[in-house]
């Protein structure tokens, strides 16, 4: 039972992060659709990726960034309802969101005990 729970926790965290990103992206797309700064909205999600990675985990931020990019391409940038993005500035903004968000998620990712245990030297290999 403990093994199944340990395997289920990362999956649930990833689903939660994906849902959070998607909800925020849909909200941002609707709120900023007709504004002058709609092209800058994806850049704010670099900060969201850093926060999600530090609180939930790196995998949740990665999946969330992909979902946000799809939401912005389909719901925010013209032509609406299509994955194709006509404006060069919008494509550049999406690319920066993905690259910057992936880097921010990697830098600010939550540290698990597994990584700390592996970096500690073994006491058995000391000098005798």
Q: What is the pLDDT of residues 35-85, one digit of tens each?
A: 988 999 999 999 999 999 999 999 999 999 999 999 999 999 999 899 899
Q: In sequence order, what DSSP letters do the residues of 4-47 get, joined into one string?
A: HHHHHHHHHHHHHHHHHHHHHHHHHHHHHTTSTTGGGHHHHHHH
58 closest CA partner among 105, 113, 6: 105
Say what the pTM is.
0.80
> pLDDT per residue over 108-118, tens digit each?
998 765 544 45
pLDDT of residue 111: 79
Q: Is the pLDDT of residue 99 over 60?
A: yes
Contact 99, 43 (CB under 8 A): no
Q: Is the pLDDT of residue 123 over 70?
A: no
pLDDT of residue 7: 75
Contact 74, 26 (CB under 8 A): no
pLDDT of residue 126: 52
Average pLDDT over the chain, rounded to an integer: 86
Q: In sequence order, what DSSP letters do the residues of 72-102 get, joined into one string?
A: HHHHTSSSTTSS----HHHHHHHHHHHHHHH
């Amino acid at each position: 039972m403990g093994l199944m729970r340990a395997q289920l926790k990362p999956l649930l965290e990833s689903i939660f992060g994906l849902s959070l990103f998607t909800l925020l992206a849909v909200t941002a797309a609707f709120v900023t659709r007709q504004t002058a700064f709609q092209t800058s909205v994806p850049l704010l999600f670099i900060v969201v990726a850093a926060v999600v990675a530090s609180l939930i985990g790196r995998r949740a931020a990665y999946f969330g960034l992909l979902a946000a990019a799809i939401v912005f391409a389909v719901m925010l940038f013209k032509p609406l309802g299509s994955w194709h993005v006509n404006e060069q500035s919008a494509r550049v903004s999406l690319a920066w969101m993905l690259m910057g968000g992936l880097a921010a998620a990697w830098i600010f990712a939550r540290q698990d005990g597994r990584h700390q245990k592996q970096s500690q030297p073994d006491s058995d290999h000391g000098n005798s």
